[in-house]
Amino acid sequence: MTPDEMVAAAIEVAEAGMAGGELPIGAVVEMGGEIVASAFTRDVSLGRRLVHADLLAMTAADERLGWRGREHPVRLAVNLEPCLMCFGAAMALKVDEVYYGLESPADGGAALVAGWPVSADLPWYRPPVIVGGIRRDEVRDQFRRYCEGAPESGFREWAATLTG
């Protein structure tokens, strides 16, 4: 799968979440041309904070893949720039590449992770290749549509900052 196709798949997952009343954030994990896991954020339905789309998708991928040897790189695509927590999880899962659509200035972690030092003690715990801006306008439109239909809330206020 191309990075564009992966982000398109994450956008579709985000649409499903938005249809269920969640923020429009979706993620997919791909390995060897196959999506091995996908998820949308679940903050609203579960009433919890640590249920980000990318974290949920990586957890599902980890459960499916386990510790077995990997024949192909593991890649993550999210429609919104991952936060620092989710980038940390990607590094722990040994994700090789992360692709995202729209930057998240308030909480995106790409700039911090890109400069992460690699330690000789844990050489595999390193930043993935990070590419943003894929289908940016499409994701921005997704957040605009969310803001038009969502009730007043902190989520809606934050989402509105992404539409400019």
Residues 17-43: pLDDT tens digits? 999 999 999 999 999 999 999 999 999
- Residue 65 pLDDT: 87
Longest dimension (CA), the chain: 49
What's the mean pLDDT in 42-51? Answer: 95
DSSP annotation of 108: B
- Residue 69 pLDDT: 62
What's the mean pLDDT in 78-97? Answer: 96
User: Which structural domains are found in the chain, ordered by start?
Assistant: 3-153 (3.40.140.10)
Is the per-residue pLDDT at 15 higher than 80? yes
Q: How confident is the model at residue 77 (pLDDT cuts 50, 70, 90)?
A: very high
- Residue 140 pLDDT: 98
E strands in the chain: 26-31, 34-40, 74-80, 97-102, 129-131
d(CA 26, CA 159): 14
The lowest-confidence range among 66-70, 78-82, 143-147 is: 66-70
Average pLDDT for the chain: 95
- Residue 164 pLDDT: 86
d(CA 25, CA 7): 11
